[in-house]
Each structure stands twice: as C-alpha cells, then as structure tokens.
Amino acid sequence: MRTKVAIIGSGNIGTDLVIKVLKRSTTLQVAALVGIDPESDGLAKARKLGVPTTSDGIQGLVAMPGFEEIEIVFDATSAGAHAKHAEILAAHGKRVIDLTPAAIGPMVVPTVNLDEHLSAPNVNMVTCGGQATIPIVAAINTVTPVPYAEIVASISSRSAGPGTRANIDEFTETTAQAIADVGGAHRGKAVIVLNPADPPITMRDTVLALVNAPDPQTQHRIRASVEYMITQVAAYVPGYRLKQPVQIDPVDQPHTLTEEPVTHQVTVLLEVEGAADYLPAYAGNLDIMTSAALRVAETMAKAVVRA
C-alpha cells in the first residue's frame, strides 16, 4: 500500500511535486493539493489529474475526507505560513517536509544527512541553492576541513514564483547556515541572483571553498570526492552536472575571509537542468527542490515499512 501524502501550496513547487509523485513514485500517493486561490493553475491541473483539492488552505486540508490517512505533508508555501502550518500539522501527528526556508526542523540534504533525520517529525529542505551546493561543500569537507565556503545560485527570474521572491532574505540566511551545519564548513555565505535574461538561463551554481590542501594527493582526493558526489545527486536529479572540471588554485596567506590556514581555493561550477515536469527545463531550481523532497518522502515511507 502506498503512503498517502498531501501538498500545501498550489504554485510552481507544489504543482511540480504533484506531477512528480504521480509520474515517478511507486511508494507515494497524492491525497490532496491545497491552495488558497480557487482559480490557480496548480489546483486546476491537479483536478484534471484526478487529485483531490481544496482552496481553503490548511483548514480545508484538515476538513477533507481521509485527512486522517495522510501520513506526510509537503509544505511549499512560505517561511511565514509554514510556522502556522507546522503547529497545526504537529497537533494532528503528521510528518512534515518543509520546502520553505523556515528551518523549524533539521535541515536535510539527501546525499549528506538524510539517514540522521529519518524519524524527525519536521524536516527542512533548505533552499534550491542549498540542495545544489551543500553536497559539494560536504564532499570537500570529507577530505579536508573547509574554513570558509561561499555559494552563488543564479536562476531564471521566470522560474522564481511569488514564494521565492518573498523569501530572498530567508534564502540567504538559511542557505548560509546550512553550508555550515550540513555541509560542514566553519563559515558559510550564500548569494542568489534572479537573472532576467531572455531566453531564460538554466540554473547555475558556483561553490567557492577555501581549504588547506598543499599536496597533490589531497587535491586529487578533493576532485574525486566532488565527482563522486555529483553522481549521487544526479541519481535523483538527472540534470545535475559539472560545467567544467573542478579547479583548485593557490591563494595568498593570510586570507581575509578566514583566520585559519588555507592554501587553495576550490571552485566548482554546476548546472542544474530541470526535468520539465511542470515548468520548462531551465527551471532546475524547481526540479532540484522537488526531486530532493520526493527522495526524502520516499525514504521515510520505506523506513516505516521496514520497521
């Protein structure tokens, strides 16, 4: 029997999640899509696909027939709304996967720390930029400590819905915190760029990490670790790839961004092409968030079955 899930938020992320669960998952069943605009494209599309919907928000979800059978709820709204949703859902004993930057529960990146939080009642998916770049920081950190890591996520402005635009500050703060807490860097910084280019650009991410790696053997291990991590993320986000080989360049000492000894800067340039389940392929930022959330939900559901 499939695990029943609900999705709150009928915008780009929520609608893409509906389609992904229906198309890809043999573990999950979409029991509801929840919105607040009865005329939204997401709710209309879900109804055409046979998914039950409500435009009455979280209270509409709670009142839906079969709500008690729903085990996992994805929240694809906003950081502010999630704080209210989390309290209500916790009172009803629902597991929650948070796709906003609210970060109420532990931050999770599937290839890095999912196994540590499989029993958590609320997990946070950080941000699209975090899902793309934190695996790389973690891969470098498994070889040598990372005193400082900085990421730049550049996405098409067309792929940034109202929720994303409303959460820019939370995006940078949450991602920077996750670079340290999940990626393992001693200090992190995050930047997001909404690029208005036409035709729209595919999501691009840059990871800059300062490390102490003076010998060729350590540098070789860094490259190998990053390349392996790319394959792990690409297993659930097929459009995730390196744009060019990993660069490791010497830096001057002392470095202004860290008091710890560093000898080199590691530069990793990434591209994330979306699966075009809902928005076109340029919206890799949408795809990596929903694909990561889907991986978390499926793993949670399978863990419950095994137990």
d(CA 25, CA 35): 22
Q: What is the mean pLDDT of residues 6-19?
A: 96
Q: Is 163 annotated as a binding residue?
A: yes
DSSP per-residue codes, 119-188: T-SEEE---HHHHHHHHHHHHHHTTS--SEEEEEEEEEGGG--HHHHHTHHHHHHHHHHHHHHTT--SSE
Tell the burial category of 53 from Cβ atoms under 10 Å away from its Cβ (0-12, 13-18, 19+). Answer: buried
Q: Is 63 annotated as a binding residue?
A: no
Positions marked catalytic: 128
Q: What is the pLDDT of residue 202?
A: 97
Q: Is the pTM of this model over 0.85?
A: yes
Lowest mean pLDDT among 138-142, 170-174, 296-300: 170-174
Helices and strands per DSSP (H, E), number in the chain: 10, 12
**Residue range 176-212, pLDDT digits in tens:** 999 999 999 999 999 999 999 999 999 999 999 999 9
Coil vs helix vs strand at 189: strand
Please name the residue ranges forming H helices in 77-127.
79-91, 110-113
For the chain, percent of residues with pLDDT exceeding 70 = 99
Q: What is the mean pLDDT of residues 250-258?
A: 83
Q: Is 13 annotated as a binding residue?
A: yes
Q: What is the pLDDT of residue 217?
A: 98
- Please answer whether residues 7 and 14 qualify as being in contact, where contact means their C-beta atoms are separated by less than 8 angstroms: yes
Q: Is 60 annotated as a binding residue?
A: no
Q: Is 160 annotated as a binding residue?
A: yes
Whether the predicted pLDDT of 175 surpasses 90: yes
The yes/no answer on whether domain 3-125+288-306 falls in CATH 3.30.70.270 is no
For residue 33, what is the DSSP state?
E
Q: Tokens for 295?
A: 């991986």
For residue 303, what is the DSSP state?
H
Q: With bands split at pLDDT 50, 70 and 90, how would you rate the model's confidence at 251?
A: very high
Which residues face 265 on adjacent strands?
Answer: 210, 249
The yes/no answer on whether domain 128-282 falls in CATH 3.40.50.800 is no
Cis check: omega of the bond before 216, within 30 degrees of 0: no
**Residue range 46-89, pLDDT digits in tens:** 999 999 999 999 999 999 999 999 999 999 998 889 999 999 99
- Please answer whether residues 263 and 200 qualify as being in contact, where contact means their C-beta atoms are separated by less than 8 angstroms: no
- Please answer whether residues 69 and 6 qualify as being in contact, where contact means their C-beta atoms are separated by less than 8 angstroms: no
Q: What is the pLDDT of residue 215?
A: 96
**Residue range 124-133, pLDDT digits in tens:** 999 999 999 9
**Residue range 272-290, pLDDT digits in tens:** 999 999 999 999 999 999 9
Alpha carbon of 4 to those of 33, 51, 73, 82: distances in Å? 12, 12, 9, 20
Q: Is 141 annotated as a binding residue?
A: no
Could you state, in order of their start, the residue ranges of all structural domains in the chain? 3-125+288-306, 128-282
Q: With bands split at pLDDT 50, 70 and 90, how would you rate the model's confidence at 163?
A: low
**Neighbouring C-beta atoms of residue 107, cutoff 10 Å:** 24
Q: Is 156 annotated as a binding residue?
A: no
Q: Is 105 annotated as a binding residue?
A: no
